[in-house]
Structures are given as structure tokens and as C-alpha cells.
Structure 1
């Protein structure tokens, strides 16, 4: 089963529920097409900044390999590693571009394929219609809570002089 993240376009004062036809489901995992056709896949997905970075990285690597007088096998191995990294990080690049364009991540869905992911997401989405819940207001990028904030549910910190573990406390008999 695959994991999909659901992204909604930026809203201009309208309800998110009115833009459901524009939701994007991004499958997490290895992308074969990004592995085989890296730059073409980036252009097809309209990931312009990532494409620019790919081209700059490829040119820089070619210049460095030329200066080092690397063999053809070494050049092939380096470009194969870049292709594997592209296949592994394709979904992350797509999510990063969506977040740069102010798209909001609404949910994470586990399903066999994209159609089943859509069905599961919209089943959950419609069941929440009666509830006054707007997922676009959920901030999924907030930092984790800290210990120093007021009203934090964390236990108090241990004093620095205590010993942690199975060791005896100082100056106590065994």
C-alpha cells in the first residue's frame, strides 16, 4: 500500500470545500519515471526551480569530473547516483514546490492506488461535513512544543545532580 499526501490550492477567502476538484494527491515513494527521465519529468511536473537546480548540479558535476579527468565509467556512476536520488526524492520535490506555492497539506491517506486514495479521502471529507471543521486552518508545520512554555504537559525536568539509571545515588549505602 502506498502513502499519499493531499494538498489543496491556496484559497482567496472562499471555502476549501469549493475547490475539491483541484486537490492534488502526491504518492510517497520511489518514482520510476523521475529516475529514468529526470529533467523531462521535472519539466512535465512544472518544477522549474528543481529543474534549474538539476541542470546546475549536472553542469557542476561534469566540470568537476572533467577537471579530475574521470573515466567514462565514473561519470556514468555519478550520473546514475543522481538519477537514483531523483527517483527517491521526486515526491518530496513535488511537495516542496506545492508548499512554496502556498498549497496546504490537508491529510495523509494510505491506499493501494490514487483512485482508492481519493475515495478514502473524500469519504472522510464528506463525513466531516456536518462537523464545523476546516482542515485548511490546521497548521501542520508548527514547531514541536518546548519545555519552557507555560501550560506545557511535560513533566518537570530532573535536577542535574541526580543520577539516571541503575547506578546508586551518591552517598547512599548499597
Structure 2
């Protein structure tokens, strides 16, 4: 089972079914395509700032490895670690970009695939009470208070009653 986060633009009215096609479901977990083809995955999802950071990280890593005169095995290991990090953190980068663009997270859904996650979310979303369904509730008078005479005269514990002898 995968965990999906549901995001919607802040400006979109979330109480209309017409805004439902603008929701984005982001699966949490390892993204194989981000691991295998990181820059293309970033381009496909339009994560421009993350792409700039990815390219800058690769350029800096290449420059450092060249200055250190590292062999080909070390270079391959570093690039594989960067690719592994990209595959692990791809969903976080996508959620960060959505929040930076002004989207908000609406819900968290656990499902086998994205279609099931959408079905579960929209079933819950359609049956949820709207803000206009809430009416003020009459609370009545304030709760009763205790008078000092209703308190027990003895004090429990190691300390005696105030004013009494030891």
C-alpha cells in the first residue's frame, strides 16, 4: 500500500466538483524514473528550481572529483548516490514545489494505486460536511462552580491541614 498526499491550489474553490480535476496526488516512496533519469523526471514534472539544484550538485560533484583526481569507480559511486538520493526524495521535491507555488495539502490517502487513492479521497470529500452546514450551538449557562464549603476538610498526602498542629 502506498501513501498519497492530495494537493489543491489555494485559489481554487474546494467545494465545487469542477475544481476536482486540478487536484494533484503525490505518491510517497521511491520513484524509479527519478532514479534512472533524474533530470528528465524533473523536467516532466516542471520542477525547475529542483532541476537547477540537481544540475548544480552534479557540476560541483564532478569538479570536486576531478580536482581530487578520483578514479572512475569513485565517480560512478558518487553519481549513483546522487541518483539514489533523487529517487528517494523525488516526492518531497514535488510537494515542496507545490507548496512554494501556493498549493495546500488537503488530505492523506492510503491506497494500492493512484486510481484507488482518487476514489477514496473523493468519496470522503463528497460526504464531508461543508462549512455552511455548521450552525452555532446554544451552550447555555456557564458550568457550576464549587463553593469553598463543599471542599473536603482533610488534605490527602504528607501535609497537614493549614493551621493545624503537627
Aligned equivalent of 2:118? 118
Partner residue of 1:17 out of 15, 22, 30: 15
- Following TM superposition, by how much is the alpha carbon of 1:17 offset from its aligned partner in structure 2, in angstroms? 2.6
Q: Provide the secondary structure at the position in 2 that maps to 1:61.
A: helix
Matching of residues 1-174 of structure 1 within 5 Å: 1-11=1-11, 15-18=13-16, 19-128=19-128, 131-133=129-131
Q: 1:21-53 CA deviation, whole Å, 9 max, x = no partner? A: 100000000000000000110011100000000
Q: Provide the secondary structure at the position in 2 that maps to 1:16.
A: coil
Do the aligned partners of 2:34 and 2:42 also contact (CA within 8 Å) in 1?
A: yes
Do the aligned partners of 2:2 and 2:112 also contact (CA within 8 Å) in 1?
A: yes
Q: Which has the larger radius of gyration?
A: 2
Q: 1:124-155 CA deviation, whole Å, 9 max, x = no partner? A: 00111xx2349xxxxxxxxxxxxxxxxxxxxx
Name the CA shift for 1:117/1:133 in 2 (closer, same or farther; >3 Å).
farther
TM-score, length of structure 1 as denominator length: 0.73
* Divergent runs of 4+, >4 A: none
Structure 1: gaps spanning 5 or more residues = 135-174
Q: 1:54-113 CA deviation, whole Å, 9 max, x = no partner? A: 001100010000000000000000000000000000000000000000101000000000
Do the aligned partners of 2:15 and 2:130 also contact (CA within 8 Å) in 1?
A: no
Computed over aligned residues only, the root mean square deviation of the Cα atoms, in angstroms, reads 1.2
